[in-house]
């Protein structure tokens, strides 16, 4: 019998498992690699991040991926080639990571690979009656398994869709396991390219957990930075802080149909890109707004949209607000979100998990559930095991 099948079948018996979680998000900034030590499963899960790194992508690689990323029309040959190329690149980065940390492939129980989302199309968005929710992550895991010699789980989102979800946000499961608290209601907010949050009411309240995308995270901010300021992001929010919000443009942007949809819901850069600004104001009106004011308005747009979605779920209940993702470093954005919610935005690190590593950890947790044969029991979202399994041989 294939030795990896035997190993896979026995993994659930181990006291703890070493799982490498991989996340490559919508900001396309790099590959997050988290080496996680996980024991137990379900609500008995204990997880620790032993090592974490973000390996930045080269500019050439980013440009290459952008030729297909969130584009309705694209070169299908490029998609096909990138599927294999991203798989091999991620595998090579894991091999380097292992070397650097003096680990061998035999030390690792499995890899949990998110892949690179290149298109996200929930039904609400595509509105084609005969088609289901759809999402596509590439970076084939057979390449990862074969090149690293490690069992690899991947493509977690399809099962979620098959079981009635939109394929996202999957943060629900990990957030619920790790961060539910008897002491306080919690909002776990992640601000990457897109912002999403989990509402975790105190279990004693018996209220349902909710996990949803809120709308834009850094997508518009980053796009404006690239277009007008020759930088890939607004470090600490300094540029936005130097401008003034254009209230009329902001109000128009907030009329976007996504905000009228009921929760939970998902979105992506297919929707939240610079077209949101172009649709809100015509060229002449836009030409009167300074670049700094435009960035300030886009930052406030992110803050208000995110806060509105949280308010819609939390109502008048008090809660602890814990923020992760690259946007947590944008101090101006954090101030604006705190202002909107009348709640202090704390860094997720306060809960003992490095915020930058959270999403990579989430996928390691999903793989751990699948290996242990359990489907997470939350009171929201499909309750299914997720992830396809690739064997090295």
Ligand X SMILES: Nc1ncnc2c1ncn2[C@@H]1O[C@H](COP(=O)(O)OP(=O)(O)OP(=O)(O)O)[C@@H](O)[C@H]1O
Ligand Y SMILES: CC(=O)N[C@H]1[C@@H]2OC[C@@H](O2)[C@@H](O)[C@@H]1O[C@H](C)C(=O)O
Binding site for ligand X (CB under 6 A): 25-27, 29, 190, 192-194, 217-218, 221-222, 233-237, 325-327, 329-330, 359
Q: Which residues inside 165-184 make contact with ligand Y, applying CB under 6 A?
A: 167-171
Of the listed pieces 82-90, 138-146, 192-200, 220-228, which binds ligand Y according to CB under 6 A? 192-200
Report the Cα 165 to chain-centroid distance in Å: 16
Question: Which segments of the chain does DSSP mark as H helices, in order?
Answer: 3-10, 59-66, 76-100, 123-126, 141-148, 157-162, 171-179, 219-228, 238-241, 247-253, 275-280, 283-287, 291-314, 331-341, 358-371
Which of 110, 138, 177, 194 is close enough to bind ligand Y by CB under 6 A?
Answer: 194
Cβ proximity to ligand X, 320 vs 327, nearer residue: 327
What Å distances lie between residue 68 and 102, 142, 327, 340, 342, CA to CA? 36, 22, 24, 36, 40
Residue 28 known to bind ligand? yes
- In which element (H, E) is residue 323 found? strand 320-324
Helix and strand counts by DSSP (H, E) for the chain: 15, 12
Task: Identify what 213 binds: ligand X, ligand Y, none; CB under 5 to 8 Å per kind.
Answer: ligand Y
Residue 27 known to bind ligand? yes
Q: Which residues inside 237-276 make contact with ligand Y, applying CB under 6 A?
A: 266, 268
Nearest residue to ligand X, by Cβ distance, number only: 326
What Å distances lie between residue 138 and 21, 97, 185, 212, CA to CA? 16, 21, 36, 23
Cβ proximity to ligand X, 112 vs 221, nearer residue: 221
The nearest distance, CB 195 to ligand Y, in angstroms, is 7
Task: Identify what 148 binds: ligand Y, ligand X, none; CB under 5 to 8 Å per kind.
Answer: none
Question: Is the omega angle on the peptide bond into residue 230 within 30 degrees of 0, that is, cis?
Answer: no
**DSSP 3-state percent helix, strand, coil across the chain (nearest 5):** 45, 20, 35
Sequence-distant (≥ 6) Cβ neighbours of residue 138 within 8 angstroms:
79, 82, 83, 86, 115, 116, 118
Site string for ligand Y, 202-241 (x = CB under 6 A): -----------x----------------------------
Task: Identify what 21 binds: ligand Y, ligand X, none; CB under 5 to 8 Å per kind.
Answer: none
Question: Which segments of 245-330 does DSSP mark as H helices, in order?
Answer: 247-253, 275-280, 283-287, 291-314
Which of 17, 120, 256, 336 is close enough to bind ligand Y by CB under 6 A?
Answer: 120
Cβ proximity to ligand Y, 193 vs 243, nearer residue: 193
Cβ proximity to ligand Y, 137 vs 246, nearer residue: 137
The nearest distance, CB 325 to ligand Y, in angstroms, is 8
Residue 40 known to bind ligand? no
Structure tokens at 34: 């988290």
Which residues define the annotated binding site for ATP?
25-32
Residues that bind ligand Y (CB under 6 A): 25-26, 117, 120, 135, 167-171, 192-194, 196, 213, 266, 268, 359
Which residues define the annotated binding site?
25-32
């Amino acid at each position: 019998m294939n030795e990896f099948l035997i190993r896979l079948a026995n993994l659930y018996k181990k006291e703890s498992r070493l799982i490498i979680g991989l996340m490559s998000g919508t900001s396309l900034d790099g590959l997050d690699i988290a080496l996680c030590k996980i024991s137990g499963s379900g609500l008995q899960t204990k997880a620790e991040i032993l090592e974490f790194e973000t390996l930045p992508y080269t500019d050439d690689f980013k440009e290459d991926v952008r030729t297909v990323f969130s584009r309705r029309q694209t070169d299908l040959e490029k998609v096909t080639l990138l599927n294999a190329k991203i798989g091999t690149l991620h595998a090579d980065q894991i091999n380097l990571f292992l070397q650097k940390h003096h680990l061998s492939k035999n030390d690792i129980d499995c890899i949990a690979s998110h892949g690179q989302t290149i298109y996200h199309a929930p039904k609400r968005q595509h509105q084609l009656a005969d088609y289901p929710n759809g999402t596509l992550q590439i970076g084939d895991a057979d390449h990862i398994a074969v090149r690293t010699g490690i069992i690899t789980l991947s493509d977690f989102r399809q099962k979620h869709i098959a079981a009635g979800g939109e394929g996202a946000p999957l943060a629900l499961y990990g957030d619920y396991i790790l961060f539910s608290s008897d002491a306080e209601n919690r909002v776990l907010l992640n601000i990457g390219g897109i912002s999403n949050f989990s509402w975790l009411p105190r279990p004693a309240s018996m209220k349902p957990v909710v996990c949803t995308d809120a709308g834009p995270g850094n997508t518009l901010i980053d796009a404006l930075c690239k277009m007008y300021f020759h930088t890939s992001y607004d470090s600490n929010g300094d540029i936005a802080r130097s401008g003034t919000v254009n209230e009329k443009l902001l109000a128009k942007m907030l009329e976007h149909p996504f905000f009228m949809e009921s929760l939970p819901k998902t979105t992506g850069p297919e929707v939240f890109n610079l077209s949101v600004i172009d649709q809100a104001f015509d060229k002449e009106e836009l030409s009167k707004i300074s670049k700094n004011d435009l960035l300030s308005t886009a930052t406030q747009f992110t803050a208000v949209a995110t806060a509105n979605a949280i308010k819609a779920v939390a109502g008048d209940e008090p809660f602890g607000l814990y923020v992760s993702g690259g946007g947590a470093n944008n101090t101006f954005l954090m101030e604006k979100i705190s202002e909107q919610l009348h709640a202090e935005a704390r860094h997720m690190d306060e809960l003992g998990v490095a915020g930058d590593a959270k999403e990579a950890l989430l996928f390691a947790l999903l793989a751990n559930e699948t290996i242990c044969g359990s489907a997470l029991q939350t009171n929201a979202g499909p309750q299914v095991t997720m992830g396809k399994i690739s064997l090295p041989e």
